[in-house]
Structure 1
Amino acid sequence: MGKKGKQDLPLHKVIMVGSGGVGKSALTLQYMYGDFVEEYDPTKADSYRKKIMLDGHECQIDILDTAGQEEYAAIRDNYYRSGEGFLCVFSICEYESFTHTQEFKDQISRVLDDDKIPFILVGNKADLGQLRKVNHEEAAAKAAEWNCLYIETSAKTRQNVEDVYSILMRKIEERKEGAKDRERKNKKGKCVIL
């Protein structure tokens, strides 16, 4: 039994949310396989799992790339419940996609009833700066209001792609450690009189 099986590795569940066409799949595929996919059929949600090294230890990331199911509230809510961290993606070239991030944030907060869930606002398509419609300051202000990070990425050039997933996973790990610590403290303090 000396060998650690894949099942024993810590698993972190990341959910990608955002409007259609903002590059959720492109970011996921770039992170998973190092490929930039220009054309992608966004009709179904896809789940990806990868073993990675995070700060010197092995763990697994499970990425759910939501697409096309957003109109089915029950399906969407189930996805959200399974998530331990969220990347909320918009395109810096499309103002409407930035406006929609509020809806995603509200839905996640409502379903999880948890404002401390690891969450990062991601402005994708940073390589298309000349087409920018959402300025950095406005997006950063929105993230500050939500008490989360704002990071700009480019699935095409790989800018910050690795970072955005690693940072989110660290936040998920910190949260899990915090929960374990609270559990330990609670167990210590209880005495039962029979």
Structure 2
Amino acid sequence: MNSFIAETYDPTIEDAFRHSVIVDDEMTYLEIVDTAGQGGSPLGSNLSLTWAEEYATLRDQWIREGEGFILVYSIASRRSYDRIKTFQDSIVRVKRGARPVFMLVGNKCDKANEREVSREEAASLSRAWGCPFMETSAKTALNVERMFSDTIRTLRQARDGDAYNRPRQGTTGPSGTSGSGDKRTRRTRCVIL
């Protein structure tokens, strides 16, 4: 992942990134759409209705195309945590019965002294949603790569079920059989809200 960390935050409608990463000896191409700062009213009361409608249309498009959703809030902001629930509801609504993959992420764990959302509260929410949870620090890069790797693993498991977990060539599975060794390339689209 890109190790550039910005000290100041400039919200945008969309930042899109493409990145290839090897997870568990398998290449995966990620298309990451970062919608941070969107939803609700990022511009306060100055937000025009037209702009809000355009954003809602774009957001729904990102959701329809996305396979995995990393829902990020700041541990130092109760408001950002409360908004995550609205985003999750929107994703479930747009996906219409599909079971999207979620990862709940509490960012800014480097600001523990400013914590407004407890780890226990977020872990409880992730259990209710049936998704993994972790805390990260984009500033120090703590758990950032792990966040993507774990999301990729969860997507693979959801897509392939237990069949994906068969052993690779040179390894032995529970029944003593050897894996096929074929390396597959996957394209995964991950949306960060």
- Closer/same/farther in 2, CA of residues 155 and 67 from structure 1, 3 Å limit: closer
Match of 2:22 among 53, 57, 72: 53
Q: What TM-score do you get using the length of structure 1 for normalisation?
A: 0.72
Greater helix share, 1 or 2? Answer: 1
Question: What is residue 43 of structure 2 aligned with on the other side?
Answer: none
Task: Specify which structure has the bigger relative contact order, considering alpha-carbon pairs within 8 angstroms and separated by 6 or more residues.
Answer: 2
Residues 69 and 122 (structure 1), Cα distance of their counterparts in 2 relative to 1, 3 Å cut: closer
Tell whether 2:26 aligns with 1:44. Answer: no
Unaligned runs of 5+ in 1: 1-31, 182-194
| Cα drift, residue 93 of structure 1 | 0.3
What is the distance in 2 between the residues matched to 1:115 and 1:97? 25
How many residues are paired up?
A: 150
1:100 partner SS: helix
Residue range with higher mean Cα deviation, 169-178 or 45-54: 169-178
The equivalent residue for 2:102 is 119
Answer yes or no: is 1:77 the counterpart of 2:46: no
Match of 2:4 in 1: 35
Determine the structure 1 residue equivalent to 2:132: 149
Contact 1:98 1:134 in 2 (8 A): yes
Distance 2:143 2:37 in 1: 26
Asked if residue 62 in structure 1 is aligned to residue 31 in structure 2, the reply is: yes
Whole-angstrom CA distance in 1 between matches of 2:95 and 2:34: 18
Distance 1:54 1:161 in 2: 14
Q: Does 1:130 align with 2:99?
A: no
1:108 deviates by: 0.2
TM-score (norm 2): 0.72
Question: For residue 86 of structure 2, what is the amino acid of its counterpart?
Answer: E
Residues 46-73 of structure 1 show CA distances to partners (whole Å, capped at 9, x for unaligned) of 1101111110121211110014654322
Deviation digits for residues 69-127 of structure 1 (CA, Å, limit 9, x no counterpart):
54322111011001010000000000011111110010000000246311011000000
What is the root-mean-square deviation of aligned Cα atoms in Å? 2.0
Identity of aligned residues (%): 40
8 A Cα contact 1:69 1:75, kept in partner? no
The answer for unaligned runs of 5 or more in structure 2 is 40-51, 165-193
Cα pair 1:90 1:98 within 8 Å, conserved = yes
**Could you report, residue by residue, the CA deviation over 1:104-156 in whole angstroms, capped at 9, with x for unpaired residues?**
01000000024631101100000000000111111111111111111100001
